[in-house]
Amino acid sequence: MTSTAHRVDTPAAPTRVSRRRVLGWGGATALVAATGVLSYRAYDTAVLDPGGGPAHAPWRHWRDLPGPRGAVAAAILAASPHNTQPWEFAVTDRSIDVFTDPLRHTGSVDPFGRERYAGMGCALENLVLGCPPGGLAPTVTLLPDGPAGQRIAHVELTAVAPRTDPLYAAIDRRHTNRGPYAPSPVPPAALAALGDLEPPEGLSLHWIADPRPRAELGGLLVDAAEALVADEQQSLDNFAWFRPDNDAEQRHRDGLVLDGQGFSPVQLAVAKLLPPSSRTAGDRFWVNATRDVHTATAAAYGVVTTSAPDDRRVQLDAGRLVQRIHLRATAAGIALHHMNQITERIDREAATGAAATFAPRFAALLPTGARPLLTFRVGHPVRDGRPTPRRSIAMVTR
Amino acid sequence: MTRGRVAAGLGTAGALLLGVAGLVQATLGAVIPDWTGDKLAPVGLGLLTVGLAGLALVAARRVRPPGLPPGRRAAWALGLAGPGLLCLSTVGVLAWVPAALLVAAAALTVAGGARESARAVAAQWPRVLLSALGLCQLLMAAAAPPWLTAIGAVSGVALVLAAWLPARTGVLVALVLLGTAPLAIVGWFALVPPLVAVVALPIAAVVLRSRPTATVSNTGKGV
């Protein structure tokens, strides 16, 4: 057999292109162009790398540092209002001074700075928990320069044998969970186990788990959210801490981010691929989520109360208490979400001299004389909370 | 002076300036952010820009000879304009002059036979679209964790190769599957990788059906 070569599949290029062919390839081109735009959004928002980048590195490397800096690495992973991280640290081998940064505030949302000091308490609690694994025993002096001083704590360190704590082990798994919670209730014994056996002086923890008061508090939270977004200054001050894209998140390494909104993976991808939402759209989303997700699926609410909500020491202790509760909840597989819009409205009404509408409604749900300081919901999570961006130790040490 | 020589001159100047801009971004990007676009990763973007400048330089050297086939002319014009436009997002203000030079060089490259070049590109349009989807994979992979970057890079290169490689059908089918399935599976949560796969598969089918004429012997083996 002779070996011959022949050409196959050789139609000559058509000189005239059919209209159907043009429309078909025009449509395909448009589809590829749209895919290209979405691919650029996927690149720009790092949708393939949620929780990645330098803004999230402190969550991955917090155990790497020895001694006092290791304790600071634990402190910067604490909760804070709107993730403002209002802290600074001065570190030596024998002590750590903890300062509050007055410029990192939420303005009219927290006019008396109560949440900011509670956030400082959260960081202080993590710092204290972070000392023993590094072979350090902390002795805390609160407000060494008085209530008006920016130094909120002096922590003296002495050498001891290293030891670990279950709460320390939960530090990098603790995230505010704004997603839906499962319908199963959290038993009263489990709720009680989240609090301290002996709460700090001047503070009480109340659980609101029965359906009727829980529904009433849920309604109050929705009303407070609506009032807050209707108050333009509070809405603006809220929005100032929203980081709409990956670039802002990595640059600022603080604030509210899409990853922290409790979305499912698909919801999160859609939210990132869409253009950033406006302030009013974000406000509407928050009110709807408060009504349809946060309050609708809360198994119980915890309220930290005091008779002296303006006392800075009490605010710091309240923050430390809530941080411990959150860490215990994390260790027990229970989700927690800080929800302070009612007290934010109470303080806003007080600061502007408006008639008090939220204070009496909240007081009706609490024991006589108890004034609310911090509020949160708990429940069994449908999905895990996600880490939020953090400033590095180098960025927060003096 | 011929149009090709002018295009080559402009392209070379633009590529060299772009290389300098990339080096400045990599070394001084954090010091002069107003000039370099205030980027989060100036070193990486600077090195990427140097790479793009290298590509533009190669293209600039290839557009000089007269009588280039229209398809090749269009490809080298893309090699000039592509880096010129991309660098606008990598080195900020520093890219303005080199980008203008490179785009002008690209325009001059195709100016003599724009219609022929367009016709050549149109004849290969399915391949162009498939390659564009491969570039989409590469783009997404650039902002992913390292293991996903590796998968995305392989996927992107595989799709581009599937579009242009003169290989057997089985090899091309494997390249298309490699270029779509892995990233679509591991990156499903980002939605776009599965979308790229869904868009790429029918286009790839057309590309495979209308491959350039293959010469086969009667033994059935490609030669």
pLDDT per position as a tens digit, B48-80: 999 999 999 999 999 888 778 888 888 899 999
Q: Answer with the one of B93, B123, B153 that is the final residue of a domain.
A: B123
Average pLDDT over residues A195-218: 95
- The CA-atom distances, in angstroms, between A208 and each of A58, A293, A375, B159 are 35, 18, 10, 58
Q: Containing H/E element for B216?
A: strand B214-217
- Residue-wise pLDDT for B152-172, tens only, equals 999 999 999 999 998 899 999
Task: State the Cα–Cα distance between residues B50 and B56, nearest whole angstrom.
Answer: 10
Helix count and strand count (H, E) for chain A: 15, 9
* pLDDT at residue number B220: 41
Among the partner residues A13, A35, A43, nearest to B196 by beta-carbon distance = A35
Measured distance CA(B55)–CA(B49) in Å, rounded: 10
- Do residue B51 and residue B135 come from a single domain? no
Is residue A57 scored above 60 in pLDDT?
yes
Report the sign of the C-alpha dihedral through residues A205, A208, A213, A214, in that order. positive
**B71 in a structural domain:** yes
Q: Nearest chain A Cα to B222, which residue? A: A5
- What is residue A236's predicted lDDT score, i.e. its pLDDT? 97
Q: Which of B211, B209, B207, B183 is nearest to B195 (CA)?
A: B183
The residue from B82, B103, B123 where one domain ends is B123
Residue of B nearest to A5 (CA): B217
Chain A's closest residue to B134, CA to CA, is A36
Q: Is B189 on the interface with A (CB under 8 A)?
A: yes
Q: How confident is the model at residue A44 (pLDDT cuts 50, 70, 90)?
A: confident
Separation of alpha carbons A311 and B143, rounded Å: 47
Q: Which residues of A touch B211 (CB under 8 A)?
A: 9
- Is B221 inside a domain boundary? no
Provide the token pair at A361.
């409604």
Span B73-126, pLDDT tens digits: 888 999 999 999 989 888 989 999 999 999 999 999 988 778 888 888 888 899
Contacts of A52 in chain B (CB under 8 A): 144-145
Domain count, chain B: 2
Touching check for A42 and chain B: CB below 8 Å? yes
Phi (first) and psi of residue B100, to 5 degrees = -65, -40
Beta strands in chain A (DSSP E): 5-8, 87-91, 95-100, 136-142, 151-159, 203-208, 300-306, 335-338, 371-379
Whether residues B128 and B139 share a domain: the answer is yes
Termini Cα distance of chain A? 88
B158 and B72 both lie in a single domain: no
B150 touching A (Cβ < 8 Å): no
> What pLDDT was estimated at residue B123?
86
Structure token pair of residue A365: 């749900």
Q: For residue A57, what is the DSSP state?
A: H
**Residue A260 structure tokens:** 């922290």
In a shared domain, residues B110 and B185? no
Say if B223 falls within a structural domain: no
Is there a domain that residue B217 lies in?
A: no
Both B118 and B129 in one domain: the answer is no
> Do residues B106 and B8 share a domain?
yes
The token duo for B133 is 């989807």
Q: When comparing pLDDT for B89 and A260, which is higher?
A: A260
Whether residue B218 lies inside any domain: the answer is: no
User: Does residue B215 or residue B86 have the better pLDDT?
Assistant: B86
Helices then strands, counting H and E runs in chain B, come out as 10, 1
My answer on whether B107 and B12 are in the same domain is yes
Query: Residue B202, Cβ neighbours under 10 Å: how many?
Result: 12
Q: How far is CA A382 from the centre of its chain?
A: 17
B136 interfacial to chain A (CB closer than 8 Å):
yes
pLDDT of B222 above 70:
no
**Which conformational region is residue A46 in: left (phi greater than 0), alpha (psi within -120 to 50 degrees), or beta?**
left
If pLDDT is split at 50, 70 and 90, which confidence band does A16 have? low
Using the 8-state DSSP alphabet, how is residue A389 labeled? -
Cα Rg of chain A (Å, integer): 26
Amino acid at A220: L
Asked, for residue B156, whether it belongs to a domain, the answer is: yes
Q: Reduced to 3 states, what is the DSSP secondary structure of residue A113?
A: coil
Give the domain-ending residue among B106, B123, B140.
B123
**A273 with B218: Cβ contact below 8 A:** no
Q: Kindly report the pTM of this predicted structure.
A: 0.84
Examine the domain organization and report whether B93 and B4 are in the same domain: yes
The two tokens of residue B167 are 């290989």
Of A10, A35, A251, the CB nearest to B136: A35
Are A6 and B199 in contact (CB < 8 Å)? Answer: no
Q: Examine the domain organization and report whether B138 and B43 are in the same domain.
A: no
Contact A95, A128 (CB under 8 A): no
Q: Are residues B13 and B94 in the same domain?
A: yes
| pLDDT at A117 > cutoff 90 | yes
Identity of the residue in A3, A36, A273 whose CB atom sits nearest the CB atom of B191: A273
- What is the extent of the structural domain holding B160? 124-212
- C-alpha span between B79 and B86 (Å, rounded): 11
Q: B-chain residues within 8 Å CB-CB of A4?
A: 217-218
Query: Which burial class, exposed, middle or buried, applies to B81 when counting CB atoms under 10 A from its CB (0-12, 13-18, 19+)?
Result: buried
Q: Is residue B138 part of a domain?
A: yes
Which range (A81-90, A102-111, A131-140, B201-210) has the least confidence? B201-210
B143 and B190 together in one domain: yes
Whether B219 is covered by a domain: the verdict is no
Collapsing DSSP to helix, strand or coil, B10 comes out as helix
Mean pLDDT of B186-210: 95
Nearest alpha carbon to residue A57 among A398, A397, A387, A384: A387
Question: CA dist A140 to A114, A129, A322, Å?
Answer: 20, 12, 18
Residue A109 identity: V
ipTM: 0.80
The torsion region of residue A7 among left (phi > 0), alpha (psi -120 to 50) and beta comes to: beta
Regarding whether B143 and B90 lie in a shared domain, the answer is no
Rounded to an integer, what distance in angstroms lies between the CA atom of residue B223 and that of residue A6? 11
Q: How far is B202 from chain A (nearest CA, A)?
A: 10
